[in-house]
Amino acid sequence: MNDEFLNEDMYDADRTARFILAAHDRGMVKWQGFYLADHTKVIEQLAMSEQRQEQLVPRQSLSEMSAIMGEAMHRHQQVSIQRAMVNSDQITLPSIKGYVQGYDDEGFFVDNCHIAYTDLWHVTRDM
């Protein structure tokens, strides 16, 4: 081991104090380089999903929605269904998109998912 690094004559307290006072702590900026690409991708996706909140459109009557769903089932067209549910922040749940497979006394089947008539708010056919 080299003893010159332990030499007290080389240590300058004033110089050390000036360095500490002059050094600027960049706070969290210095840690930004440690985010992995996967982390930034997830953060961006979360931000985008928060921005993609759907607006509640005017409610359709059940007969209107049934006609649109029947026509879509007949022509094998995809539908977008806005449900009559909102989350705790009064934001609508994401629309269900898919093909109408059938119906029963309680609701429609869209891509193997049963949607009750009471859960329907608005239906559009995707052309």
pLDDT tens column, 76-98: 999 999 888 777 666 777 788 99
Helix then strand then coil, % of the chain, to nearest 5: 45, 25, 30
Host domain of residue 120: 62-126
Overall domain count for the chain: 2
* Token output for 65: 């929605």
- 25 and 46 in a single domain? The answer is yes
- 18 and 74 in a single domain? The answer is no
The reply to whether 88 falls in a domain is yes
The percentage of residues in the chain with a pLDDT greater than 90, rounded to a whole number, is 36
- 45 and 24 in a single domain? The answer is yes
The reply to whether 56 falls in a domain is no
The reply to whether 1 falls in a domain is no
**Residues 123, 69 contacting (CB under 8 angstroms):** yes
Whole-model pTM over 0.85: no
Greatest Cα-to-Cα distance within the chain, rounded to the nearest angstrom:
93
At which residue do the structure tokens 């996967």 appear? 38
The reply to whether 29 falls in a domain is yes
- Specify the CATH number for the domain of residue 93: 2.30.30
Strand order in the sheet with 113-116: 113-116, 107-110, 96-103, 78-83, 120-126
Residue 67: predicted pLDDT: 94
Residue 86 host element (H or E): none
Q: What is the pLDDT of residues 26-61, one digit of tens each?
A: 655 555 556 666 667 777 777 666 655 667 788 899
Strand partners, 126: 78
pLDDT tier at 24, thresholds 50, 70, 90: low
- 74 and 117 in a single domain? The answer is yes
